[in-house]
Structure 1
Amino acid sequence: MMGVVANLEMNGHNPLLPMTYNLVWSGLLLISLIVTVVLVVDIIRLPATVAETVVLILLVLLAPVVGWAIYLVLRPRITVRRKG
């Protein structure tokens, strides 16, 4: 065991790092895709005009993190405006 640790320290190369990197990024991309699909379906069901719906979908698709946050802030306002 000491030989493996010493070998890793001397080479400065961890053979598990690329696999871990791939798993983490694959998981993040999968979560991102799921959240995007859920938000787009929610936007389609939202009682908004066609123009508002298109703008919200483009916002969510073009700016994933910022678009999600903006949509979650705007959604209650659109719903209240349509009900009132």
Structure 2
Amino acid sequence: PRLWIASLARLIISPLIVWALFRLVPVDPMLIDIMVVLCAMPVATNGTMLCYQYGGDSRTMAQGTFVTTVLSIITIPILVMVIG
């Protein structure tokens, strides 16, 4: 359950916070949209590689990479529709 909560926070809550905060700053809206979409990307495989290298919990990291990648197929288009 913690993995699912962390994944949803990474893919939905974090980008919405970035969107809300940067709407207050006078910047080009296109730049804000790019930052939000980049913030909504899934966890990179670099974390898994670093876990292997430094003896971390690579199984949980690999599961997190998989879950965020699968969920991002759904969350990124929804997020783009919300901010667009």
When the two structures are superposed, what TM-score results if normalisation uses the length of structure 1?
A: 0.36
- Structure label with greater radius of gyration: 1
